[in-house]
Amino acid sequence: NAGVTQTPKFQVLKTGQSMTLQCAQDMNHNSMYWYRQDPGMGLRLIYYSASEGTTDKGEVPNGYNVSRLNKREFSLRLESAAPSQTSVYFCASSELTGPNYGYTFGSGTRLTVV
Partner 1 sequence: AQSVTQLDSHVSVSEGTPVLLRCNYSSSYSPSLFWYVQHPNKGLQLLLKYTSAATLVKGINGFEAEFKKSETSFHLTKPSAHMSDAAEYFCVVRRNSGYALNFGKGTSLLVTP
Q: Which residues bind partner 1 (CB under 8 A)?
A: 31, 33, 35, 40-45, 48, 50, 56, 58, 90, 92, 94, 96, 101-103, 105-108
Shortest separation between residue 18's beta carbon and partner 1, angstroms: 25
Shortest separation between residue 23's beta carbon and partner 1, angstroms: 13
Shortest separation between residue 104's beta carbon and partner 1, angstroms: 9
Q: Is 80 left (phi over 0), alpha (psi -120 to 50) or beta?
A: beta
Shortest separation between residue 26's beta carbon and partner 1, angstroms: 17
57's enclosing H/E stretch is strand 56-57
Closest CB to partner 1 among residues 42, 62: 42
End-to-end alpha-carbon separation of the chain, Å? 35
Closest CB to partner 1 among residues 34, 113: 34
Closest CB to partner 1 among residues 1, 14: 1
Q: Which residues contact 1 (CB under 8 A, 6 or more apart)?
A: none
